[in-house]
Amino acid sequence: MRHLMSWSLALLWCATLATSVPAQPAPAQPAPAQTAMTDEHKTFYALGLALSQSLQGFGLTAEEFDIVKGGLADGILKRPPQVEVQEYMPKIQALQQARTAVVAAAEQKAGEAFITKAAAAPDVTKTESGLLLTTITAGEGATPTAEDTVTVNYHGTLIDGSVFDSSVQRGKPATFKLSGVIKCWTEGVQRMKVGGKSRLVCPPQLAYGERGAPPRIKPGATLIFEVELLEIAAKTP
């Protein structure tokens, strides 16, 4: 999962790059009438959504967003910039880091309360790393190692119950090498047998940590997965 900073800074660069070439201010345009969106309009709207996702880590207020929109407008419409982008890039990075830390602290606090409650439930195993594992269905097949490639069905949610990723909803199992995923999966799936299904509660240090996986997974988020181990790929001789 790509880091938030790479997206946010790249998009801010795109919005302000044109300001390096002075140009006459664009004439004011009347606000478009609110009509049904064409497919082209929807494409531009989707572009706006993509930009919003890249900026989520900044936790902008409505007032701050109005200022950001001013910078976007000046950059895209090639109007004279009010600040030098190069000068403010370190400050953008510092702002992103500070805002991310605030979000991560809040998420981690909520996650700790969730984990404390979840750990008290019957049949829950808490490992030394902090992983919570509950066996839903005991498998009868082989147990994978970290170097194995496995095929699984999974359903991933946040602690508020919202779904962020699900092979079940897509209707297609996922196949991957067990050493190439988050630590929670690498550890948890090695405690399963083929044919089994388990619930994994993953604290942030076993998931995406303080960086998160924007836009759906916030920094410091605790994740919950229901995982069904379908198959272990045969090793190539």
Helix (H) or strand (E) holding 175: strand 174-177
Q: Per residue in 151-183, is it b (16+ CB within 10 Å) or e — as a string?
A: bbbbbbebbeeeebbbbeeeeeebeeebeebbb
Q: Encode pLDDT of 221-232 as tens digits.
A: 999 999 999 999
Q: Encode pLDDT of 184-205 as tens digits.
A: 999 999 999 999 999 999 999 9
Q: Encode pLDDT of 39-85 as tens digits.
A: 999 999 999 988 887 787 788 899 999 999 999 999 999 999 999 99
Q: What's the pTM value of the predicted model, to 2 decimals?
A: 0.74
| Residue 207 pLDDT | 97
Q: Encode pLDDT of 43-55 as tens digits.
A: 999 999 888 877 8
| Residue 9 pLDDT | 43
Per the CB < 8 A criterion, the answer to whether 168 and 153 are in contact is yes
Q: Tokens in use for 138?
A: 């005991």
d(CA 2, CA 38): 31
Whether 2 shows a pLDDT value over 50: the answer reads: no
Q: What is the mean pLDDT of the chain?
A: 86
* Cβ within 8 Å of residue 98, ≥6 positions away: none
- Where are the domains positioned within the chain? 4-83, 123-232
Amino acid at 89: M
E strand map for 54-159 = 124-126, 132-137, 149-158
Peptide bond into 215 cis (omega under 30): yes
Q: Encode pLDDT of 124-172 as tens digits.
A: 999 999 999 999 999 999 999 999 999 999 999 999 999 999 999 999 9
- Nearest CA to 73 out of 143, 124, 26, 132 is that of 26
Instruction: Please tell us whether the domain made up of 123-232 is placed in CATH 3.10.50.40.
Output: yes
| Residue 237 pLDDT | 63
Q: For residue 182, give the DSSP letter.
A: -
| Band of pLDDT at residue 38, cut at 50, 70 and 90 | very high
Helix (H) or strand (E) holding 119: helix 85-119
